Copies of this chain bind each other. A is one copy, B any other.
Amino acid sequence: ENILESEPIVYRRIVVPHSGGKEYCTDSGLVVPSISYSLHKKLLSVAEKHGLTVEKRLEMSGVCASQMALTLLGGPNRLNPKNIHQRPTVALLCGPHIKGAQGISCGRHLANHDVDVILFLPNFVKMLEPVTNELNLFCRTEGKQVSNVKDLPDCPVDLVIHCLDCQENAFLRDQPWYKAAVEWANQNRAPVLSIDPPVTDQEQGIHAKWSLQLALPLALGEQSGRIYLCDIGIPQKVFKEVGITYHSPFGCKFVIPLHSLQD
């Protein structure tokens, strides 16, 4: 009989110095290994050294995350001139750190594209400069900013974007505003997109439907939902400098879905 069984194409074109604990593959079968948090951090810092500054990264991740969010919100079917009376609403939950700044950048691009954005950012007297910069720009959109969870919408929004967590500020999770924001997100029935979430074994946090990771994935847990990877413009030789043999898995895209190879 002429039955040809189609094997999944597996290409290993990314080789990492030590496994991050999980392996993924792209739609076309390219293997994308995870890396540890410390290697990820080193990758970003070497990229910065070569000129891919935090500012550049915030802009790039903001654009790509907003492109993904716009697709999740319905893309051209939802966002067209005939639909202007039915603007989608996004609640953006941000902590006072670089991950939060990434979210604010995404929020600016969404607000620029006719999305009703409500940004929750707790009140701090002094914040990191990249956070303040992104906030200044966000304030020039029609988006709304609140610092109290009570001012977030009562009814379900179309999408929650979650940028509260940060590997190095885990203590923030004990603060009242953090707990209130998590509770609000869990009560609102909207699906959640996490941007660049840290690895955590925390069970009581926000359960995401999708998580967008940057450059190379970390080994995220179940509560991160479906994994997407975002190209943030790091050149091949920068990967090499931290010991990673890298060949882009992105094809012509900047955001791609990843599938767990363990499944």
Contacts and interface: CB of A to CB of B under 8 A. Distances in A.
A35 interface: no
Contact of A137 (B52, B71, B136, B254): B52
Contact of A252 (B29, B56, B76, B133): B76
A18 interface: no
A258 to B, nearest CB: 15
Nearest to A62: B233
Contact of A235 (B30, B53, B75, B140): B140
A109 B64 CA distance: 13
Contacts of A58: 56
Contacts of A52: 137
Contacts of A30: 81
Contact of A76 (B67, B136, B248, B251): B251
B252 A112 contact: no
A112 B81 contact: no
Interface in A9-61: 9, 11, 28-30, 50-53, 55-56, 58-60
A63 interface: yes
Nearest to A138: B235
Number of copies of this chain that the complex holds: 2
A43 to B, nearest CB: 12
Contact of A140 (B50, B56, B63): B50
B67 A254 contact: yes
A236 B141 contact: yes
Nearest to A140: B235
Contact of A59 (B59, B109, B134): B59
Interface in A211-244: 231, 233-238
A98 interface: no
Contacts of A173: none
A137 B50 contact: yes
A190 to B, nearest CB: 18
Given A81-B30, A254-B63, A140 B236 contact: yes
A78 B252 CA distance: 9
Interface of A: 9, 11, 28-30, 50-53, 55-56, 58-60, 62-64, 67, 70-71, 73, 75-76, 78-82, 108-109, 111-114, 133-134, 136-138, 140-142, 231, 233-238, 248, 250-254
